[in-house]
């Protein structure tokens, strides 16, 4: 009998410009809280994910990922071997992930405060190009998660629950229970359809730490990765 997997597909470390969590401490927290698989998805970088993978304790599989800032909004790209540069058109960023054998999901849909693709109705055409939608992001305020559920249902996409952790206390506050082996791209893709969401939410006090983390990282010289140079296409022209 195959044991279920407990998976968080969106988590940050100090490699992100807005997080101070040490990768080794992140994976230890994941293990302590019962996760079997954790995707490290720092902003526009994968070095934190590689460090976390090297430090992962037995029983926790780290998926190397990235939260990529595209010209149309953010994407989660998993199973990467190289970082995807920010500032690409959406379809080019997706193609870059696919070229590495990776999977692609839409993070924090409809979030009014972050770079969310689905705030622009033109981005709905991306539904056929991605593998899942975050239908429960533990940091998303308002009705965004409910709208994401409706979007996923309308387009026949799997939904996942994620912590979007920017602190150790948030790791595994929300996750997805999957059947199968999500440690490979093919395995995760096959398991997503039957996923069971385990929603949760960190306190406002914990999430209020993020602005302080940004200030500390700025003082350390760790700022957001610069965009790719080149002309900026309109969102509609980016779409296939």
Asked whether 110 and 147 are in contact (CB, 8 A), the reply is yes
pLDDT band at 111 (very low <50, low <70, confident <90, very high): confident
CATH for 221: 3.20.20.140
Asked whether 101 and 185 are in contact (CB, 8 A), the reply is yes
Asked whether 43 and 87 are in contact (CB, 8 A), the reply is no
CA 117 vs. chain centroid, Å, equals: 13
Number of domains in the chain: 1
Asked whether 175 and 35 are in contact (CB, 8 A), the reply is yes
CA distances from 216 to 17, 43, 127 (A): 9, 16, 37
Q: Global pTM?
A: 0.91
Burial of 119 (0-12, 13-18, 19+ CB in 10 A): middle
Q: Which residues pair with 8 in a beta bridge?
A: 38
CA nearest neighbour of 118 among 65, 54, 72? 72
pLDDT digits (tens, 9 = 90+) for 9-55: 999 999 999 999 999 999 999 999 999 999 999 999 999 999 999 99
pLDDT digits (tens, 9 = 90+) for 63-102: 999 999 999 889 999 999 999 999 999 999 999 999 999 9
CA distances from 149 to 41, 137, 161, 223 (A): 22, 11, 11, 33
- What tokens were used for 185? 């791209």
Q: Which residues pair with 197 in a beta bridge?
A: 176
The parent domain of residue 230 ranges over 5-238
Asked whether 7 and 35 are in contact (CB, 8 A), the reply is yes
Mean pLDDT of 111-138: 81
């Amino acid at each position: 009998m195959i044991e279920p997997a407990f998976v968080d597909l969106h988590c940050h470390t100090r490699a992100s410009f807005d997080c101070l969590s040490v990768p080794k401490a992140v994976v230890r927290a994941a293990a302590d809280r019962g996760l079997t698989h954790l995707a490290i998805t720092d902003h526009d970088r994968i070095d934190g994910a590689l460090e976390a993978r090297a430090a992962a304790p037995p029983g926790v599989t780290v998926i190397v990922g990235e939260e990529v800032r595209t010209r149309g909004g953010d994407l989660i790209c998993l199973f990467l071997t190289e970082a995807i540069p920010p500032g690409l058109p959406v379809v080019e960023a997706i193609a870059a992930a696919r070229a590495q054998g990776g999977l692609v999901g839409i993070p924090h849909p409809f979030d009014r405060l972050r770079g969310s693709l689905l705030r622009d109705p033109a981005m709905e055409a991306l539904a056929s190009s991605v593998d899942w939608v975050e239908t429960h992001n533990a940091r998303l305020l308002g009705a965004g998660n409910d709208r994401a559920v409706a979007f996923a249902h309308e387009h026949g996409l799997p939904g996942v629950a994620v912590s979007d952790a920017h602190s150790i206390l948030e790791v595994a506050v929300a996750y997805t229970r999957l059947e199968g082996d999500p440690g490979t791209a093919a395995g995760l893709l096959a398991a997503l359809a039957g996923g069971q969401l385990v929603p949760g939410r960190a306190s406002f006090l914990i999430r209020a730490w993020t602005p302080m983390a940004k200030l500390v990282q700025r003082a350390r010289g760790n700022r957001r990765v610069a965009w790719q140079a080149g002309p900026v296409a309109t969102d509609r022209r980016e779409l296939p």
